[in-house]
Structure 1
Amino acid sequence: MKSIATTMILTGGVLLVLGLLMFFAARLPFPFGRLPGDIHVHGRNTTFHFPVVTCIVVSVVLTLILNLLMRIVNR
């Protein structure tokens, strides 16, 4: 039971951090989520938004950060 509780607490902490990052990302001066290459489809009653380029940028940045952290930790 203790491992389940620890997992739930860690998951909640990660979700909290992600939520705060998303909250403050809206206030950044660059158009995060509205980059050229992101797909926007507007219909009569529907709107579809798929941030392709934003996902790629986030993936590259997170990969670089995690690689740097792993190199620092493994020294």
Structure 2
Amino acid sequence: MSRALIIAGIVLILAGLLGNVLKTFPFGRLPGDIVIHKKNITFYAPLMTSLFLSLAASAVLWFLSKR
């Protein structure tokens, strides 16, 4: 049980560090992302960001499967 908690903690720390690094890249503000601002509501649909990340993950997994 303690090994699982340590691994989960390390994964969370790495995710936090990765999130800080990715803030410098324009992810989430790509052309094709939909942002609608109304009086008290903001709707955000990151369509192109999701597509880009999906294609990147697919390419990485395809490359790793060919090795």
> TM over 0.5, yes or no?
yes
What TM-score, normalized by structure 1, do the two folds share? 0.69
Unpaired runs of 5+ in structure 1? none
Q: CA RMSD in A?
A: 1.8
Percent of pairs with identical residues = 37
Partner in structure 1 of residue 31 of structure 2: 36
Task: Number of aligned residue pairs: give it.
Answer: 67
Q: Separation in 2 of the partners of 1:19 and 1:38?
A: 24
Gaps of 5+ in 2: none
Note closer, same or farther for the CA distance 1:11–1:67 as it changes in structure 2 (3 Å cut): farther
| Worse overlay, 18-27 or 60-69 | 18-27
Higher mean alpha-carbon deviation, 44-53 vs 18-27, is at 18-27
User: 2 CA distance for matches of 1:46 and 1:19?
Assistant: 27
Q: Which residue of 1 aligns with 2:13?
A: 16
Q: Which has the higher contact order (CA 8 A, sep 6+)?
A: 2
TM-score w.r.t. the length of structure 2 is: 0.75
| 1:47/1:37 CA distance change after superposition, 3 Å | same
